[in-house]
Structure formats: C-alpha cells, structure tokens
Amino acid sequence: MSSVENRIQELRRLIEHHNRRYHVLDDPEISDEAYDRLFRELRDLETAHPELVTPDSPTQRVGGKPVDEFGQVTHRQPMLSLDNAFNEEEALEFDRRVKRFLAIQSDIAYAVEPKLDGLGVEVVFEDGRLTVGSTRGDGEVGENVTANLTTIRTVPLRLRPGKTPWPERLEVRGEVFMKRGAFERLNRRQAEGSQKLFANPRNAAAGSLRQLDSSVTARRPLSVFFYGVGKLDTPPFRTHGDLLRHLAEWGLPTNPANQVAPDIQRAIALYRDLLARRHTLPYDSDGVVFKVNDLAYQHRLGEVSRHPRWAVAFKFPSEEGQTRVLRIQAQVGRTGVLTPVATLEPIRLGGATVSRATLHNQDEVDRKDVREGDWVTVRRAGDVIPEVVRVDFSRRPADTTAYRLPDTCPECAAAVQREEGEAVFRCTNFHCIAQVKERIRHYASRDAMDIEGIGDRFTDQLVAKGLLKDIPGLYRLTKDDFFHLDRMGDKLARNFLDAIQASKRRSADRFIFALGIRNVGSHLSLLLAQRYSSVESLLAAGADELQGVREVGPEVARSIRDFFDLPENLTLVRELLSLGVAPQPVPPPRATAISGKTFVLTGELTGLTREEAERRLREAGGRVTSTVSRKTDYVIVGAAPGSKARKAQQLGVKTLDEEALIKLLEMP
C-alpha cells in the first residue's frame, strides 16, 4: 500500500473517531479548526488521487449530486408497523394476548423504548460496510436514500469491530428524527433566509431526509437511533436488549432511554414515568413501544396483518388537535399587556379539555393569520398554556377578517400603547380594573402571599362590587363586606379574614414576588430577599448596587428600579407596611451539597436534558464548567461518557452517575 493510501486511511479513521466524539458523545477531543485541517487534508489527497475515493470516506458525507428521483429498494424482510394501545387496559390486553399465544402463564419481560416521531429507515451493512440505506416506504418497497443517510454524521460508514463479530449482512432498522432544539434552530435559519418553515420536527426530519439534493440534507441537523434488525440467518443474540447492546458495540447509535422491564406491570410503570417526563426528552415522542424481550418468543409470535404480535405502541395522549376558533378577544394582564386569546370549540388534548388558547401577541396573530371562524391546530404540551399552532387554510370560511388588537382597553377604555422595541400592546391606565384584579390575584396566589381561596374565587366579585379597589384594600376588608358575596357564610368569611391576617407575616421573598415586578420571578425574589434584610433597603438600592446581586443583570436591575420609581408602586408598598404587613427576613442560603461546588457533565443523560441539569445545578448555587481540573468537585457521568470521565479518574475527582445527580438535586 502506498504511503498516500496509508495516510488516507489514517485520516478517515481519525475523522470518524472525532465525528463520534463530537456528534454521539458530545465530548470533542480536538478543536473545530483541527478537525477542519484533517478534513481538508483528506479532501485534497482524494482530489489528487480520485482513484482512491471510496463511498465510505467521510468526505462523501457532504452530499453528492442531486438526483431526479430516488431509486427503489425492496426490503428483504418487510418493515412492519405497530399496533396501538391507547390506555392501560389495552396494554394489559396486549400482554394477555402474548401469553395466550405462547401458552405460558409466567411473566413476560418487555423492552420499553420511547417511540420516536420521525421517519423509519433501513441501513444495510455488508462485511461491515454500509452499502444501501432506504426509507420504510410502504413497508415492502422504500426509497433509496443512501447518499442522504450517509450525510448523518452518526451513521457509521463502517461498523466498529467489537467482541462479537457482526453478521456478514446486517440490516438495521431505526428512526431518523430531529431534536427539538435542532428543529428550532433550523426554523430560525429558514426564517432568516425567507425559506419555508417546518410545522414540527417530524416534518422537518422527513423533508430533510427525502431531499433529492443530498448536499441539502448534509446541512440539516438530523439524528438517528437504531432499534431493530431485518432478516438474520443465525442471530447472535438472545434478547432484544442484547441485540441493542451489540448494535451499540458496533458503533450504531441506540437510544440511551431504552429499558427492559421484567413484567407488564413494570413496563407500564416505565410508560408512566416516560409520559411524566416526555418534555424533558430532547426529541418528540408520541408514545412508548413495548417489545417482547425474548427473541425466540418474538419468532414464535410472528405477525398478523402487517403488525408484529410481539410489539405494541402504547401511545401518549395526543397534544395536538384540530378545532374551531369561535372568538378572539384581548385579555388584559397584570402589567396591562393585551394578549389575544382564542375561545375554541372544546377539544380533548394531553388528557384535559381545552377551550381557550393563547395567540401570544399581535405579531403572532399576523404571522399565523388566525381569524375567528378558522379551523386551527391547537397544542397543549405539559404545563405550557395551550396555543394555536397554525390555521388550516383549506377550511377557512368565506367571510373572515383579519384580527387586530383594539386601540383602547376592552376593560377600561383607556388608550393602548405599543412601546418602542416591544412586541406587546399595553393598557396605559394603572387603575384599569382588569389590571387591578390581576394584581390582586397575583398578590394572593399560592407562590406569593398565599391567601387561600381569595384569588381564584372572590377577587372578581369583590372588585366588581366596589369592595376592593387595590391590594392594600385586602387588609381593610371587614366581615360585613364578605356578606355581599354569593354563597358566603359566617364560617367562610371568618376563614378569609384569618387567611388575610396570616399573610401579613409571610417571608420577604414571597412579598417581593407578590409585588409583581417585571422580570422578577420566585427565584430572583428569593435572591433579593437574601441580600436585603428589609424592604426599605431594597427600595433604596440603586441599579448599580442591584447588579451586584447574584443573577441580577442590567435588565432586571432596570425593571426593579422602574417599579419602585413609579409613585403608585412606592405608595403601595408603604401602605402595605403601614397596614401591618411585616415581611419576615430570609436567612442567607444554607450551604447545601451543591452550593459553591463546581460540576462538569459528560455523556448522555436520559432522565433530563443537559440544559436542565445545568440549570438546576446553577439554581442550587453550583457552578457548571466544561473542563475537568483539580478544582472540579464532581464530574457527572452519563451514558457513553467521553474523555472527561477518564480525566476525572486520573485527577481523583469524584464522579457521580445520573441517579446520584438526581438524589443530590433533590436533597434538602
């Protein structure tokens, strides 16, 4: 072999190694420039020696010439689809069916995997080299997307040798998808280039993979996890879990969130767990797949009408659906902001009935062109307020008109203004009845002064009857006032008065939060209360001084100053204090196992995202850095960790796995 050939092979090995470190392990060993140098050297050598270019060279990942249409690939073994279960009873019925068919009574172990919302693909390796990649298509015949699939950096062009030799021909199946973060970045890029936006990560993944010009695919941030194989003559594995471990060993990315449960009850428990944390996964998942873990059982179970008998997709309740906009109205918030809100024909989403959805602001209404009478897709994801995602223009009635927020406040008729550089419109009247109500509601809410029952049930009535005009008014209410309310008894009235009295001695952080200063949530309120031992000293703090408080930047400092510079707010605080409100000082933070400690994260976390783990560590007073040194207190080691885990060992830095991290975060 010539020395050029040797160098070319070395470069290919190095580049694939660094691809994996960067894209799979999230733990690069070399700088981007050093990587680019290797890549350029290889490309230049290949240009000088075109006879040495092979399809498995990393240079071929950048995409090739556009094609007019995709060729067809017939799957040797059809790619089946999954039967669905929509509730626990149907999942239990699946387990009973499996046992009946196998004629066994003992527990069946199930592999439990997030169902990825992307595009099914098959990739064939012959003698360890990638030869063909195709889409699932109709299950029998798919499209040949080899050139596109090889642009995905985590798809190995060659398998890595492991303890077990790979089969001569290996057909692996998996899902190409786009992580939510990547999807949002892609859409931002599309918007900047005035290109079409994708409706969701699934469409973006499908649209990106099925590109006739593979150099376009190469620029799209696609991911892939493999979860199965096609036909195998002599399977070297006994269970599905075993199969996945081998795929990973050969360098094929598998989902670290996959697990195995010893029986159906524990499989269902894993489903519930994934449902509860589906929004912390970095990708969209529309359910969980249960697969009989034992491959011999799988074989005996076989298939029926295009579905394997050995697997089921246990779907999450849908978070998106279509319904009609009955009305659009402006809602006035605590700070006077007008929010356009759609009243909807009620629809079940994510396990609850939704009849209102936010349209955020005028810019969003314009961008989506939502009108009264439209059919729209509504989304309710986790704790997020339901929102209108898009209009189905094909169902738009004939006589609709574009919606505009009013020029005057719908509640108090004062002028509405749009501030320079802001997306929002505000009612300019500090005494606007809607703002007053919302301010009182916020003041009394659970995380603020926690005056039970007042906020949700009686504020509107008290304000409407003129019994309550502002926050201090709460402390002037008498028993007689309460008797003007509907369904009010002596006991209930007493309870309210007691609750109001009790609120006088809430902690200072609750009081600061209750004031409703823009940009100051519970967390910052706590930091402020820890720094300022009296309300008076906070009132007197200048913007520069405020910026000395941990996590307070110029914008927050400005909001705080603006708030107290408004005479109405200053009066409010003074009045409350004179009425006997006595916020209790908050002791400075108690040292916890996290505060003041330095953390480095490496490898993939499954239970929470990297960002979330980092945020929570910072909230608990920890520092998160990216390089391991002797000063590092803990290295958090996820799945498939990188060199940082080794470095921690060398330096004798303590390492924690994900479970230990969670424990640490949950410690008081």
Q: What percent helix, strand, coil does the chain show, rounded to 5?
A: 40, 20, 40
Q: Interface with ligand IVH includes 81 (CB under 6 A)?
A: yes
Applying CB under 6 A, among 58, 142, 253, 308 the residue interacting with ligand IVH is 308
Q: If binding is defined by CB under 6 A, does position 203 make contact with ligand IVH? A: no
The span from the CA of 283 to the CA of 511, in Å, is: 38
Minimum CB separation of residue 3 from ligand IVH in Å reads: 45
Pick the binder of ligand IVH from 8, 15, 42, 80 (CB under 6 A). 80
Closest residue by Cα to residue 388 from 409, 405, 407, 371 = 371
Look at residues 463, 518, 470 and name the one whose alpha carbon lies nearest to residue 337: 518
Residue 507, Cβ neighbours under 10 Å: how many?
A: 17
Pairing of strands 320-332, 303-304: unpaired
Q: Which of 27, 122, 175, 294 binds ligand IVH (CB under 6 A)?
A: 175
Choices 18-26, 77-85, 349-357, 496-504; region in contact with ligand IVH by CB under 6 A: 77-85
Residue 253: count other Cβ atoms within 10 Å of its Cβ: 21
Q: Which of 319, 322, 326, 318 is nearest to 379 (CA)?
A: 319
554-565 helix and 567-578 helix, angle to the nearest 10 degrees: 70
**Spatial CB neighbours of 111, under 8 Å, sequence gap ≥ 6:** 239, 240, 241, 244, 258, 259, 260, 289, 290, 291, 292, 293
Question: What CA–CA distances, in Å, run from 449 to 6, 48, 564, 655?
Answer: 72, 74, 19, 41
Question: What is the rounded distance in angstroms from the CA atom of residue 106 to the CA atom of residue 259?
Answer: 20
Among 115, 291, 437, 597, the one annotated catalytic:
115
Helix (H) or strand (E) holding 200: none
Q: Which of 355, 381, 376 has its CA nearest to residue 365?
A: 376
CB 394 within 8 A of CB 374: no
Q: Is 120 in the site for ligand IVH (CB under 6 A)?
A: yes
At 356, is the secondary structure helix, strand, or coil? strand
644 is catalytic: no
Closer Cβ to ligand IVH, 109 or 594, answer by number: 109
Q: How far is the CB of 276 from ligand IVH (least distance, A)?
A: 19
Q: Does 360 help bind ligand IVH (rule: CB under 6 A)?
A: no
> For residues 187 and 118, is the Cβ–Cβ distance under 8 A?
no
Q: Does 115 bind ligand IVH (CB under 6 A)?
A: yes
Does 136 engage in binding with ligand IVH (CB under 6 A)? yes
Closest-CB residue for ligand IVH?
A: 120
Number of residues lying near ligand IVH (CB under 6 A): 15
Region binding ligand IVH by CB under 6 A among candidate stretches 109-117, 263-271, 331-339, 492-500: 109-117
* Binding residues among 212-271 for ligand IVH as defined by CB under 6 A: 227-228
Binding mask 604-643 for ligand IVH (x = CB under 6 A): ----------------------------------------
377 CB-side CA count, 13 A = 14
Comparing CB distances to ligand IVH, the nearer of 128 and 228 is 228
Counting contacts by CB under 6 A, is residue 82 touching ligand IVH?
Answer: yes
The region of 46-54, 70-78, 114-122, 425-433 touching ligand IVH under the rule CB under 6 A is 114-122
Task: Report the residue number, 291 or 380, with the smaller CB distance to ligand IVH.
Answer: 291
Q: Which is nearer to ligand IVH, 259 or 609 (CB)?
A: 259
Q: Does 370 bind ligand IVH (CB under 6 A)?
A: no
Active-site annotation, residues: 115
Q: Which residues contact ligand IVH by CB under 6 A?
A: 80-82, 113, 115-116, 120, 136, 175, 227-228, 289, 308, 311, 313
